[in-house]
Amino acid sequence: MKRTVLSAFFVLFTSSFCLAQSFKTEEGKATFYSKVPLHSFEGNSENLTGLINLDDGTIDFYIDLETLDTGNGKRDKDMKLTLETKKYPFAEFFGKLVSDFDPESFSIQDVTVRGTFKIHGEEQEIEVNGTMQMREDGLFITAGWILRLLDYNIEPPKILFIKVDQEQEIKIEALLKPVDG
Amino acid sequence: MRTITIIILISFFSISTLSAQMERKRADPDGPVEETFLTKNIAGLGTVQLLGKGDLNSMIQHNFGDIRGGIDTFFGIDEGANVRIAFGYGLTDNLNIGIGRTSREDNIDFSLDYRVLHQTKLDKIPVSVVFKGDLGIRTQKESFSLTFQERLNYLGSVMIARKFSDNFSFQVSPMVAHFNTVVKREANSELYNTLLGLGFAGRIKINERKSISFEYLPVIGDRISDTKNHAALVYELETGGHVFQMFLMSGRWFTEQHLLAKTETNFFEPNFRFGFNVNRIFGLL
């Protein structure tokens, strides 16, 4: 019986340690920049959801594409039609941290993650560089990469309200809070 | 021993859950329903579809003589067009203002649309409701013998619409129109300054860029002599920034107060005219 109790404590301790190494947000910020001559714009969402588990280096992020706002109703509609958000509502990344990160340090550290990015029903293996910083209030991350529309079979209709660059710059920024046990 | 095994299994399950992908959840599953109609107007009837904040819609509306002229008038085209040029602007997502000029009577009208309810996807709010007001003034030389006040016309409307499915939307819009001056065309004409109407409008979506819409606007109660209920059947094509609407309509006007007071052809007789609207939407923000 004594051994059972001890084991239970051991397991619970292990579990809570793992939980403390997980960080989550549902309010991260994602921005894309579209640059074409005479017509540049950006779209934002503050509904980026992310979970980082430092224990095994798992990185999991997704965003509801219908929350992207370019500041113009007509442009938003065209964007949603182009991304077919009714059929493919999410853009998502699932991968692993492949560089070292010291959670004991409060300094900003460059990190690299590798994994699968999925949008418009198409998947690509990508590597993304960014920064991670352990803070007293959580884990702050930034990252950016270039998304090529054709890689994901995203083809804007020929006659469109907006001119669309083939290469879209994506930036994300989020403060992930420790996941409570 | 069995207890330990169970605890270890539960613990492993908790840990592995953390490493697994999160369940993907929609950010706002009960968000507002979008695109109940394609534009703010069908042919002449207003809809609950408002311009988003910062959107400017420039609209050119035309229609021609009635088709009964046959080949002699090239089915009405030779009779000249009634043209309304209008601009609408979204001050907010729920408040739009507009100005228009109709070539008939050189009527200039100012409109205001305010959305009080927006249908949501999970039906917490089952309908969209928009209040619309329109104030028009005749500015052609022939009307200068009338005072400013006498040349005014008004419309008040409550548009109630529901998008029943991705492919079908329907709207009912009770309205009241008032003309400060009405003119007898025949000695025994019955005239009314105030008219009531009940607009019906619907949209059947063919695909993301095309739809068939209709509008029907019967006068309720007293009506001016020899007027008929307005109706229109519309083919709509969206090409991104433009929305083209090609239609057969009985009324000659594009403002609802005039459709109630001045429609003289009966769509179901059948007698109607060809017309088309071109909407171009610009994002100003």
Domain count, chain B: 1
Round the average pLDDT of chain B to a whole number and report it. Answer: 91
Q: Which residues pair with B84 in a beta bridge?
A: B61, B102
C-alpha to C-alpha distance for A43 and B171, rounded to whole angstroms = 32
What's the pLDDT at B20?
Answer: 76
pLDDT band at B50; cut points 50, 70, 90: very high
What's the pLDDT at A17?
Answer: 42
What's the pLDDT at B16?
Answer: 47
pLDDT band at B239; cut points 50, 70, 90: confident
Tell me the average pLDDT across B6-20. 53
Size of interface A-B (CB pairs under 8 A): 94
What's the pLDDT at A2?
Answer: 57
Asked if residue B242 has pLDDT above 50, the reply is yes
Q: B175 in a domain, yes or no?
A: yes
Residues 6+ apart with CB under 8 A from B91: B53, B97
Pairwise CB contact (< 8 Å): A11 & B18: no
Pairwise CB contact (< 8 Å): A92 & B283: no
To the nearest whole percent, how much of chain B has pLDDT over 90? 78
ipTM of the complex as predicted:
0.78
Q: Does A20 touch chain B (CB under 8 A)?
A: no
Pairwise CB contact (< 8 Å): B26 & A12: no
B65: domain CATH number is 2.40.160.40
| Of the candidates B161, B156, B226, the residue with the CA atom closest to the CA atom of residue B196 | B156
To the nearest whole percent, how much of chain B has pLDDT over 70? 93
C-alpha to C-alpha distance for A90 and A86, rounded to whole angstroms = 9
Asked if residue B194 has pLDDT above 60, the reply is yes
| More confident site: B35 or B100 | B100
Q: Does A74 touch chain B (CB under 8 A)?
A: yes
Q: Write the pLDDT tens digit of every residue in B151-184.
A: 999 999 999 999 999 999 999 999 999 999 998 8
What's the pLDDT at A4?
Answer: 57
What's the pLDDT at A13?
Answer: 45
| Of the candidates A154, A153, A145, the residue with the CA atom closest to the CA atom of residue A114 | A145
What's the pLDDT at A40?
Answer: 72
Closest partner residue to A15 among B15, B21, B241, by Cβ?
B15
What's the pLDDT at A74?
Answer: 73
A-contacting residues in B 22-51 (Cβ below 8 Å): 22, 24-28, 31, 34-35, 51
Tell me the average pLDDT across B238-249. 88
- Range of the structural domain that residue B142 is part of: 29-283
C-alpha to C-alpha distance for B77 and B181, rounded to whole angstroms = 30
What's the pLDDT at B209?
Answer: 85
Asked if residue B51 has pLDDT above 80, the reply is yes
What's the pLDDT at A7?
Answer: 55
Residues 6+ apart with CB under 8 A from B226: B189, B264
What's the pLDDT at A24?
Answer: 96
List of chain A residues whose C-beta atoms are within 8 Å of the C-beta of residue B24: 62, 89-90, 92
Per-residue pLDDT of chain A (181 residues; tens, 9 = 90+): 555 555 555 544 444 444 458 999 999 999 998 776 556 778 899 999 999 999 999 999 999 999 998 877 777 887 888 889 989 999 999 999 999 999 999 999 999 999 999 999 999 999 999 999 999 999 999 999 999 988 999 887 655 555 667 888 999 999 999 997 5
Structure tokens at B85: 């040029």
| More confident site: B74 or B17 | B74
Name the strand (E) or helix (H) holding A96: strand A90-97
- Select from 2.40.128.110, 3.90.1170.50, 2.60.120.620, 3.40.50.2300 the CATH code of A22-178: 2.40.128.110
List of chain B residues whose C-beta atoms are within 8 Å of the C-beta of residue A62: 22, 24
Q: Write the pLDDT tens digit of every residue in A42-83.
A: 889 999 999 999 999 999 999 999 999 887 777 788 788 888
CA B91 to chain A, closest CA, distance in angstroms equals: 12
Pairwise CB contact (< 8 Å): B240 & A179: no
C-alpha to C-alpha distance for A128 and B108, rounded to whole angstroms = 57
C-alpha to C-alpha distance for B36 and B228, rounded to whole angstroms = 28
Which residue of A52, A119, A161 to mutate against B (max B Cβ within 10 Å)? A161
What's the pLDDT at B18?
Answer: 46
List of chain A residues whose C-beta atoms are within 8 Å of the C-beta of residue B27: 47, 64, 66-67
What's the pLDDT at A35?
Answer: 72
Closest partner residue to A15 among B11, B27, B35, by Cβ?
B11
What's the pLDDT at B46?
Answer: 97
List of chain B residues whose C-beta atoms are within 8 Å of the C-beta of residue A88: none
What's the pLDDT at A50?
Answer: 96
B-contacting residues in A 95-124 (Cβ below 8 Å): none
Asked if residue B261 has pLDDT above 70, the reply is yes
Q: Write the pLDDT tens digit of every residue in B79-125.
A: 889 999 999 999 999 999 999 999 999 999 999 999 999 999 999 99
Which residue of A11, A27, A67, A176 to mutate against B (max B Cβ within 10 Å)? A11
Pairwise CB contact (< 8 Å): B19 & A66: no
Question: In chain A, where are the structural domains located?
Answer: 22-178
What's the pLDDT at B69?
Answer: 86
